[in-house]
Amino acid sequence: MIAAKQIELPRMASDKMDRRQITAEQALKHESETLKVLDHPNIVEYLGWEETPTSLTMFLDYVPGGSISKCLQTYGTFDEEVTKSFTSQILAGLEYLHSKGFIHRDLKCQNILVQMDGVCKISNFEISKRTDTDAHTTMDGSIFWMAPEMLNSRETGYNSKIDIWGIGCILLEMWTGKRPWDGEQMLTAMSKLFQSKLAPPIPDSLVLTPLADDFRLKCFTINPEERPTAVELRNDPYLALNPGWAFNGFVANTPHSS
């Protein structure tokens, strides 16, 4: 089985001029061109492209487990070893992505797919950017998962460190089962990020170990120059798995301490 992302092409001349239609076509073609040059076990695999008079279709590796977001909805928050394993794999894919000169720009649990054997794959590259050809001054992505420097991007610009902030947001989602800035409106979250320079808070019910909290704080370092790289985070002691541990599927769970 394979997966397909497809959009229908408009037949009426007026529809062809629709900005939303043009944007959708550009995004799919951009994602296809990006995935075409990537090859890593923790990035969704590109299989091909088809363009007909009526549609554009991109073919991808089928990942039957769905997204991490879907798994959280189904099973609740994960066992801590699962959380560490998934984080380490996402960082491996991110390290490769950055080494190839790309920024993802929209890392969140919804965009991480999970195979039945527990292998994670980064997906959805519609707004990814090359680091060697683009001036990174556009504010794109999802506000609640966005790094603070993106909110001031026209003044300061940004780089691949925004994806490290995304890792922190994914961790927070796996720990709590909820999005960053849960309970906050978009404008309030933007104000706390941009003006107050605050990271997404953790709920009082979540008690983290010193290693887990240190890892979280590293991801949410406000100054991007001081924020670690994917390479550095992959070697963080928090991600060390218990000897002999292996992924054996999900167990229904509830929010827990880490």
Catalytic residues: 106
Neighbouring residues of 44: CB distance < 8 A, sequence distance ≥ 6: 35, 60, 61, 63, 113, 121, 122, 123
Q: Which two tokens stand for residue 132?
A: 């060697």
- The first and second tokens of residue 8, run together, are 């229908």
Cross-strand partners of 55 = 8
Alpha carbon 15 to chain centroid, angstroms: 32
Rounded to a whole number of angstroms, the distance between the first and last alpha carbons of the chain is 37
β-strand partners of 57: 6, 50
CA distances from 179 to 13, 142, 185, 195, 248 (A): 40, 11, 12, 21, 26
Cα 37 from chain centre = 19
Element holding 103 (H helix, E strand): strand 102-103
Question: How many angstroms separate the CA atoms of 202 and 171, rounded?
Answer: 11
Do 96 and 202 meet the contact criterion of CB atoms below 8 Å apart?
Answer: no
| Region class of 118: left (phi > 0), else alpha (psi between -120 and 50), else beta | left
Q: Parallel, antiparallel, or unpaired: how do β-strands 2-8 and 55-61 relate?
A: antiparallel
